[in-house]
Amino acid sequence: MPFPIILSSPSGGGKTTIALRLLATRTDVGYSVSCTTRPPRRGEVDGKDYHFISLEKFKRGQATKKFAESAEVHGHLYGTLRAEVKHVLSSGRHVIMDIDVQGAKQFARAFPDSVLIFILPPSAKVLVERLEARGTEDPKSLIRRFKSAIAELKAIDLYPYVIVNDEIDSAVTAVSSIIDAEGLKRARNGALDARVKELMKGIQRAIDHYSARK
Ligand code: 5GP
């Protein structure tokens, strides 16, 4: 059974890169494109990176319960469309989402079988450098992002899995291993019960066979 995977981290933690790498390497994983009221950055494509929508349209989506979760992040609204998640899951793929901690909390309530993974940057220095290197932020918004990084880190207890992203290949492998292990959980494999019953029946037949020959 496919399930939702939530990746969260402070800005600059590397979750977007990890999500993209997984999408490129695993055919059993799809992406849920979020809605946002933030304007597109250079190179971002509407419908691929985000659905870039107006505040009015976002509010309408909230009122009509179109979002499985929504939150204000860095002064803009972001939300995950229920339809987008269901579309990926019904195609038989796990759905990966790159959402903030407030959204993760709401989403896990709506979809309790979600797998929550927190990505930690290797150090404060690396996180600060990664954010500075983006070059898209003025000091005021950088400070806002640094403050929200602290707020994100404070919410780490919500996440059963934590990966330190000091090397991208290992971080991607770690997330991939979590997906594989989660997929093997008994609770996610309803067909296992019937299989175990069949095994027991087969063994019982052997017992009956040898008992008759005693
Ligand atoms: P950015 O604007 O840099 O793409 O993303 C800013 C933050 O918004 C990131 O922490 C990202 O995880 C979060 N974000 C992106 N999409 C969603 C969403 O659909 N819901 C929530 N709650 N957060 C999101």
Give the residue, by CA position, lying nearest to ligand 1 atom 12.
99
For residue 94, report the phi and psi dihedrals to the nearest 5 degrees. -70, 150
Give the residue, by CA position, lying nearest to ligand 1 atom 19.
79
Written as six digits, the tokens of 45 are: 């494509």
User: What residues are paired with 115 via a beta bridge?
Assistant: 5
pLDDT tens, residue by residue, 124-135: 999 998 888 876
Give the domain extent around 107: 4-183
Our count of domains for the chain comes to 1
- pLDDT at residue 135 in the model: 64
- pLDDT at residue 136 in the model: 62
Q: CB-hemisphere CA count at 13 Å for 125?
A: 1
**How buried is residue 132: exposed, middle or buried, by Cβ count under 10 Å (0-12/13-18/19+)?**
exposed
- Residue 192 domain-assigned (yes or no): no
pLDDT at residue 12 is higher than 80: no
- Residue 201 domain-assigned (yes or no): no
The CATH number of the domain where 113 resides is what?
3.40.50.300
Q: Residues with beta carbon inside 6 Å of ligand 1?
A: 11, 34, 38, 69, 71, 73-74, 78-80, 98-100, 102-103
Q: How confident is the model at residue 137 (pLDDT cuts 50, 70, 90)?
A: low
pLDDT at residue 139 is higher than 70: yes
Please report, rounded to a whole number, the percentage of residues in the chain having pLDDT higher than 70.
99
Query: Per-residue pLDDT averaged across 70-86, rounded?
Result: 94
Written as six digits, the tokens of 49 are: 């990176």
Task: Looking at the CA of residue 152, tell me the nearest atom of ligand 1.
Answer: 10
Hunting for tokens 């059993």 — which residue is that? 28
**Rounded-to-integer distance, Cα 61 and Cα 79, Å:** 9
- Residue 168 domain-assigned (yes or no): yes
